[in-house]
Amino acid sequence: MKKYIKHILCISAFGALYSCSKDVVKPEAINDPEQTIAIKLAADFAVARYNVVLIDPEVTIENSNGLVPQYKWTVKVTGKDGVVKDSVICDTKTLQFIAPTANNYAVNFTVTSGKVTKQAATKVKVSETNKTYNSKALLLVDFFPAPGFSNDGLEFTDKSAVLSEMQLNLDNGDAITLGTFGGYVVTKFDHTVINAYAARDFIVQMSKTNNNIKFSPAGIFVAYDANKNGIADENEWYEIAGSEYHKSTTVKNYEMTYYKPDPVKPAVAGKAAWEFDTSYLKYTDNKNGSGAITKTTKFRRWNYYPQWLGDSYTLKGTKVYVPVKDVSDGAGTSFNVATFDWGYGGIKDSSIDISWAVDANGKKVHLPGIDFVKVYVPTMGAVGALDLLTCNYEETRDLNFYK
């Protein structure tokens, strides 16, 4: 309080001294130059539906005084009530325009810097492709399961045969089981699923948990085929950063190596009746961890290891902690498996916003849409007699373009 009083007194004293001065020098008026915005934007563009056209206007801002400009792209959309309104489709300087319907689109561009606003307009003619598109990602690109009892039905020695079998599962709407941590499937849409502004874009549907198998929420990677070579190149993959991505319990760049079990090794029984072989399938990780997957009594005649793979293989991804609680008084026969809030498959709301995609450093990326989806198991946990936490993938659907 004393410092505050002294501060007030000093100001008063300075004011009194200043008022008594006879030689008052008035500061010269400084006229800041007026801020201006200039935009050069082509009058029209053309593209086929579900394809991307890059619109990159030239924006010149004079005398901005360090202000960061704001950008907004809008397009005229007719709502369900028949009213035409402006719908925001992008908030960056460069627009990657994509539309699902052939039409002539009136697109407006607005630049705001401080109190100054400048607008420009263009037209985009979207032509018909005469193709019928499927809302599901039904083309199987890759399948790589982690160990799990569900692999017993996949007694293949050749991966091409495995892919053919999984493609049939997709075509028939049957489940694809991914096993435990790292197991994944990659599927492709027959069109680019559009990244709608401020809206969810597609759904990853999973099989529901039943009393016999506990399914883990699924992690998701997406890829946009920017070079249009029909392949999801390594540098085109981005992770959907869901609700668990930034938590301290989440491990980025996690790797787990699984080792093929020795078929003649004697089983090492555990204390519980369901623990048929506690040293059945060895694994190590890149965090100096190691352990073994226990084969349960129920599935003791099953082979957990994919038979078309060699003596070992490594799977990678972001490892997410999921709480698992034994609700059978320690008997290991009934468990509650937690879920996640958003950004994963197999949860209450499994709709995904493509804008949640991040690069390897966790930085947000701006994708006009996606062509590929990778669904993988981000968890590693045992549920006693029920075996491992597994992930059952069924299908991927896209949603509407404009909301």
Strands 335-337 and 116-127: unpaired
Rounded-to-integer distance, Cα 25 and Cα 46, Å? 63
Position 182 scores a pLDDT of: 95
Rounded-to-integer distance, Cα 50 and Cα 65, Å? 40
Digit-coded pLDDT (tens) for 155-192:
777 889 899 999 998 888 888 888 899 999 999 999 99
Residue 221 phi, psi dihedral angles, 5° rounding = -120, 150
CB 219 within 8 A of CB 320: yes
Sequence-ordered list of residues with C-beta below 8 angstroms from that of 242, at least 6 positions apart, any chain: 219, 220, 340, 341, 342, 343, 344, 356
Sequence-ordered list of residues with C-beta below 8 angstroms from that of 123, at least 6 positions apart, any chain: 43, 44, 45, 104, 105, 106, 107
Digit-coded pLDDT (tens) for 7-28:
333 332 323 222 233 444 555 5
Position 208 scores a pLDDT of: 61
Digit-coded pLDDT (tens) for 328-338:
777 777 777 78
Average pLDDT over residues 322-347: 83
Q: What is the CA radius of gyration of the chain?
A: 29
Dig out the tokens for 100 from the structure: 């699902």
For all residues of the chain together, what is the average pLDDT?
Answer: 85
pTM for this structure? Answer: 0.85
Strands (E), 161-307: 176-177, 184-194, 202-206, 219-223, 237-240, 251-259, 275-285, 290-296
Quote the distance between the C-alpha of residue 186 and its chain's center: 14
Angle of CA points 140, 141, 144, to nearest 5°? 95
| 3-state SS, one letter per residue, for 15-67 | HHHHHHCCCCCCCCCCCCCCCEEEEECCCEEEEECCCCEEECCEEEEECCCCC
CA distances from 378 to 146, 319, 336, 373 (A): 11, 5, 18, 15
Identify the band that residue 207 occupies on the pLDDT scale cut at 50, 70 and 90. Answer: low
CB 214 within 8 A of CB 380: no
Judge whether residue 343 has pLDDT over 90. yes
CB 115 within 8 A of CB 79: no
Position 4 scores a pLDDT of: 37
Rounded-to-integer distance, Cα 73 and Cα 214, Å? 45
Which residue, chain included where needed, has tokens 């394809």?
51
CB 293 within 8 A of CB 280: yes
Which residue, chain included where needed, has tokens 């204390």?
271
Judge whether residue 154 has pLDDT over 90. no
End-to-end C-alpha distance for the chain, whole angstroms = 57
Identify the band that residue 398 occupies on the pLDDT scale cut at 50, 70 and 90. Answer: low
Position 232 scores a pLDDT of: 96
Residue 163 phi, psi dihedral angles, 5° rounding = -65, -40
